[in-house]
Structure 1
Amino acid sequence: MENKKRVMVEFDFPGMSVKEYDQIWQDLRKAGYEHPKGLIHHAGAPTDKGVKIVDVWESADKFNEFGSALMPVLQKHGVKEPKPSIFPLHYEYNENKKPIM
């Protein structure tokens, strides 16, 4: 049975540059993942250690399905398998929508 509760997924990619991050997105787009199924919000930001990613997904299942496309691209760029933190979403605000609780 599919878990349909939205989740927030957080990744840290130590040592990754924004140039590498951009190249990974370019490769995902070329592979047909310009709009990954189930991805609601995505944000990537440089940190003093690398790049931090925060996503909101329709469900943990949708995020895990995307992993089959993401992992080969990360491996191509020499990125070690990330250890995401996954949290059930409690509250979401989008300026174009009403809050979701």
Structure 2
Amino acid sequence: MAIFIQAELAGVTTAQYDALNAKLQALPGDTFKGCMSHVAIPTGSGMQIFDVWESEESMRTFSDLLMPAAQELGLPMGEMPKVSPVHDYWVPEA
């Protein structure tokens, strides 16, 4: 079942987010396998992340790569993301 993730990255700047994203993209293999969509927006207090994943398992596999990379960059560890089951997901034709 697809899941929706909402994460608040308090204290993380856009430059830090970009560095983390570059680090993850440089990893071997399909780092983002199972990610159906990803949106990152800057807020007054950091960044907010909104993802849709094919399954909780695929999100956990990604998280196992994400957390060490974030720690290596010294990013602050925030609260656990909110996880919700997806009822419906579609993308209009481009």
More divergent stretch after superposition (18-27 vs 79-88): 79-88
Which ranges in structure 1 are unaligned for 5 or more consecutive residues?
none
Q: Does residue 93 of structure 1 match 2:90?
A: yes
**Structure 1, 25-34 or 10-19: larger mean CA deviation:** 25-34
2:3 is matched by which residue type in structure 1?
V
SS at match of 1:53: strand
Question: How many residues were matched structurally?
Answer: 93
**TM-score, length of structure 1 as denominator length:** 0.84
- Mapped contact 2:24–2:31 kept (Cα < 8 A): no
Runs of 4+ residues deviating >6 angstroms: none
Cα deviations across residues 18-52 of structure 1 (Å, max 9, x unaligned)? 01000000000111366511000000000111000
Q: Which residue of 2 aligns with 1:17?
A: 13
State the Cα distance separating 1:68 from its structure 2 match: 1.1
Residues 82 and 32 of structure 1: CA distance in aligned 2, closer, same or farther (over 3 Å): farther
Query: d(CA) in 2 for partners of 1:22 and 1:44?
Result: 10
Matched, 1:31 2:27: yes
Task: Determine which structure has greater relative contact order: mean sequence separation of CA pairs < 8 Å that are 6+ residues apart, divided by chain length.
Answer: 2
**1:84 corresponds to which of 77, 81, 85:** 81
CA distance in 2, matches of 1:33, 1:89: 27
Q: Give the structure-2-normalised TM-score.
A: 0.89
Percent of pairs with identical residues: 27
